[in-house]
Amino acid sequence: MTALEIAMAGCLAFGHPTGNYYEAITTHSGLQVIHADGAVTLRLREERRERREEPGATLDIISLKDEYYPFEVVRHVRVWNDCAAVETWAEIRHSEPGPVRLVRADSFAAPVAATSDVVRVLSLTGTAKNEANVSRSSVGNGQTVELVSRAGTRNAWEANAAMMVEFGDDVGEERGKVLGVALEWPGNSCRRVRRNWDGSRTEVFAGVDMTTGPYTLDPGVTFTTPKAILVWSENGRGEVSRTYHRWARRHLMPHGYDLHPVLLNSWEGSYFSFTERTLLDMMDGVKEMGGEMFVLDDGWFGRGKFARDEKNKAKAGLGDWCVNKAKLPHGLGWLADEAERRGLKFGLWVEPEMANTNSWLYEEHPDRILSEAGRPPICGRGKSQVVLDFCNPAVRDNLFGQLDAVYAEIPSLAYVKWDCNANIWNPGSPYLAADRQPNLWYDYAKGYLELLKRFRAKRPRVMVQACASGGGRMDFGSLRYADEFWPSDCTDPYRRIFIQWGCSQFYPASAMACHVTASPNHQTKRETPLKYRFDVAMTGRLGFELHPKDMTAEEIAFAKAAVADYKRIRPVVQRGDLYRLVSPYEKPLAALMYASEAKDAAAVFALGLKIDGGRTETLKLRGLDTDARYSVREINCGGRLHLVGGARFIASVTGRDLMERGLDITLFGEYDSAVFEICKNEQSR
Ligand code: GLA
């Protein structure tokens, strides 16, 4: 079986081609509509099928039309030549005399032929500062497991838009049948896995969530479902993850193979309390440690009584995108020049979708805000945060103009952190007509993507970080335009091991921003060694979020060496294949490795959790060339060496040995960790 076969089966099941309405209900079709005349049936017949060769891919287009109503579904299935991920989506349109209501319009809906007694669903769930917990449950006969997220914005928290369906009891990292289903969508979404009464049939669905009300589709308008990305593997979850990572780097992310810089973000180092001097000191500090970019986080904007300053903190200013001259008298362009003078790039935090009720924007243009007529607004952060009406193109245009003027002040702008710190708690759009209010959820998400796309088109080289109070926007929809995520506001390395483990199930390491922060950790108060904080952060895109002035000379020296080590292994971490070796859900440590596609380099991480005393573990490596010879060197050493026997360097060992016999390592006590750099020896055969 292949992902393509599964996708094509979807084409047939989609819209229940038999036209039997009873069957349509009982098989839970992925498409359900209410026609302009109130009828609820569909009898779709295939009209046309076309195959188009695209650069690097083949696209099948299948047009289905209703026998009676002028209603059409055009299914798309794209297969990439260089990676086993299949994209599938549908366009829905009609020319009925009035609007049609879409009760359900999934991106993908299909029976999956893999027979097995056990079907499990793996998904990611969580909340603020506790994202991407891996959750697994089995689907019993006659049961449906449903994963729904309805926050409007921070949807990756409750139910991340990706899941794996495991067939059989023997599924592991490197074995077993697994179907990956991910949506390229930041909006409300729903995935379902359903088994019939005797378990002989498993159906899988994924699409936009419509339980907040049907989508009203006018004649002549096309509703495009988000893309579903399917990956099928008979070799376990690891292969599914690696395929998603490759697909994302090659075919989704704007610059999937660019190396991401080591940066310092100002947030945890200063929060809202900074002057120009604070920021210059931070720049000096990160430069000294080998960093490459400085990012100014929240607190730089707003004016007058609504300035986002130390007094107002998060209570004011969102929506007024002009630099706060009282705080930064020389402006943003000057700051970016100061960064450039130090050889650093410059990045800026923004929160485009939001306003505070304490803002000039809210005072002057309340009609730009999502709100429910007659009800006082439910406000989020700072008891004053509300969401702009991104369904309204004029609101988006205005915002684009405001932010563009800010960016224009910073010709060297290299990075934008796009944050989003509220859900849609007031689901009313002043722009949409009364009978179109349920369209808000889909139209909002489209509006967000449209703005990101516009930003990209105008500033193609500027990196974007998708952040939503941490990992609320960890989805492939955002990653089409963004370069990375901020997976969590929790920067405690112990908790990050789990969060990053979850993230790695679908999203590539280069997109996983991981920052070394102060100890005790600001969120959990946990104290951990600096080495541990580095080792955990080095498994993704390394950065800092602290004030370097608070570090001792020894810590700075350690950090300098760690950054140099990271830069050496960065290509393999950010572009390599991930192999998860030991799960933190099963043992008191996590072990993982990245191996280059050419199998000539690798980096191995062993990250201890609460280890009592010491623990020896054999790490059987993966992804190497069996017959090649490699050297193994422990890097980022903080005193103790971790290879059993005490060596720091092994000059020559075969890939076979590393994979079959493995590396014996010991972790000493809690929060201990080790990193190994593996290089293929020249003339190694
Ligand atoms: C959110 C983000 C943080 C930081 C703050 C700033 O919580 O997730 O990283 O940017 O906002 O207010």
Residue 685, pLDDT above cutoff 70: no
Give the mean pLDDT of the chain. 95
60 is catalytic: no
Whether 77 lines ligand 1, by a CB cut-off of 6 Å, is no
Whether 377 lines ligand 1, by a CB cut-off of 6 Å, is no
Report pLDDT for 5: 86
Residue 26, pLDDT above cutoff 80: no
Residue with the smallest CA separation from ligand 1 atom 6 is 298
Distance 470 CA to ligand 1 centre (A): 7
Whether 298 lines ligand 1, by a CB cut-off of 6 Å, is yes
Residue with tokens 């199998």: 599
Give CA–CA dist 395/523, Å, rounded: 35
Question: Cβ(476)–Cβ(450) under 8 Å?
Answer: no
DSSP letters, 563-579, are HHHHHHHHHHHHHSEEE
Of the candidates 597, 586, 583, 595, the residue with the CA atom closest to the CA atom of residue 622: 595
Mean per-residue pLDDT, 409-426 = 98
Distance 95 CA to ligand 1 centre (A): 46
Give CA–CA dist 546/541, Å, rounded: 16
Q: What share of residues in the chain are helix, strand, coil (percent, to 5)? A: 25, 35, 40
Give CA–CA dist 212/226, Å, rounded: 17
CATH classification of 579-684, choosing from 3.10.129.10, 3.40.190.10, 2.30.40.10, 2.60.40.1180? 2.60.40.1180
Residue 78, pLDDT above cutoff 80: yes
Distance 127 CA to ligand 1 centre (A): 14
Residue with the smallest CA separation from ligand 1 atom 8 is 469
Residues 6+ positions from 100 with CB-CB distance below 8 Å: 33, 34, 35, 36, 71, 94, 216, 217
Give CA–CA dist 375/580, Å, rounded: 50
Point out the catalytic residue in the list 66, 489, 492, 625. Answer: 489
Q: Compute and round to an integer the Cα radius of gyration of the chain.
A: 26
Which CATH number describes the domain made up of 263-575? 3.20.20.70
Give CA–CA dist 65/76, Å, rounded: 15
Dig out the tokens for 520 from the structure: 């005790």
Atom of ligand 1 nearest to the CA of 417: 10
Residue 333, pLDDT above cutoff 70: yes
Report pLDDT for 20: 46
Question: Cβ(589)–Cβ(669) under 8 Å?
Answer: no
Within 13 Å, how many C-alpha atoms sit on residue 547's CB side? 13
| Three-state DSSP state, 449 | helix
Q: Calculate what percentage of the chain has a pLDDT beyond 70.
A: 97
Atom of ligand 1 nearest to the CA of 297: 10
From 40-49, 284-293, 652-661, the region with the lowest mean pLDDT: 40-49
Distances (CA, A) of 548 to 288, 362, 463, 517: 9, 37, 24, 10
Residues 6+ positions from 433 with CB-CB distance below 8 Å: none
Whether 489 lines ligand 1, by a CB cut-off of 6 Å, is yes
Give CA–CA dist 117/195, Å, rounded: 11
pLDDT of 428-449, one tens digit each?
999 999 999 999 999 999 999 9
Whether 318 lines ligand 1, by a CB cut-off of 6 Å, is no
pTM above the 0.75 mark? yes
Report pLDDT for 306: 98
pLDDT of 56-77, one tens digit each?
999 999 998 988 999 999 999 9
Domain locations in the chain as residue ranges: 3-251, 263-575, 579-684
Report pLDDT for 22: 43
Residues 6+ positions from 533 with CB-CB distance below 8 Å: 493, 516, 517, 519
Residue 46: which pLDDT band, with cuts at 50, 70 and 90? confident
Question: Cβ(156)–Cβ(475) under 8 Å?
Answer: yes
Q: Within 10 Å of residue 550's Cβ, how many Cβ atoms?
A: 10
Mean per-residue pLDDT, 4-27 = 58
Strand order in the sheet with 293-296: 484-485, 463-466, 413-418, 345-350, 293-296, 263-265, 541-545, 513-517
Residue 27: which pLDDT band, with cuts at 50, 70 and 90? low
pLDDT of 625-652, one tens digit each?
999 999 999 999 988 999 999 999 999 9
Mean per-residue pLDDT, 138-146 = 96
Whether 491 lines ligand 1, by a CB cut-off of 6 Å, is no
Question: Cβ(10)–Cβ(109) under 8 Å?
Answer: yes
Report pLDDT for 12: 57
Q: Within 10 Å of residue 362's Cβ, how many Cβ atoms?
A: 22
DSSP letters, 258-283, are SPPPPEEESHHHHTT---HHHHHHHH
Residue 11: which pLDDT band, with cuts at 50, 70 and 90? low
pLDDT of 567-612, one tens digit each?
999 999 999 999 999 999 999 999 999 999 999 999 999 999 999 9
Fill in the DSSP letter of residue 388.
Answer: B
From 14-18, 133-137, 377-381, the region with the lowest mean pLDDT: 14-18
Residues 6+ positions from 477 with CB-CB distance below 8 Å: 161, 183, 184, 185, 186, 187, 226, 445, 449
Residue 23: which pLDDT band, with cuts at 50, 70 and 90? very low
| Three-state DSSP state, 200 | coil
Report pLDDT for 684: 60
Mean per-residue pLDDT, 505-517 = 98
Q: Within 10 Å of residue 396's Cβ, how many Cβ atoms?
A: 21
Q: Give the CATH fold of the 3-251 domain.
A: Beta-galactosidase; Chain A, domain 5 (2.70.98)
Distance 636 CA to ligand 1 centre (A): 29
475 is catalytic: no
Point out the catalytic residue in the list 309, 419, 565, 672. Answer: 419
Within 13 Å, how many C-alpha atoms sit on residue 578's CB side? 30
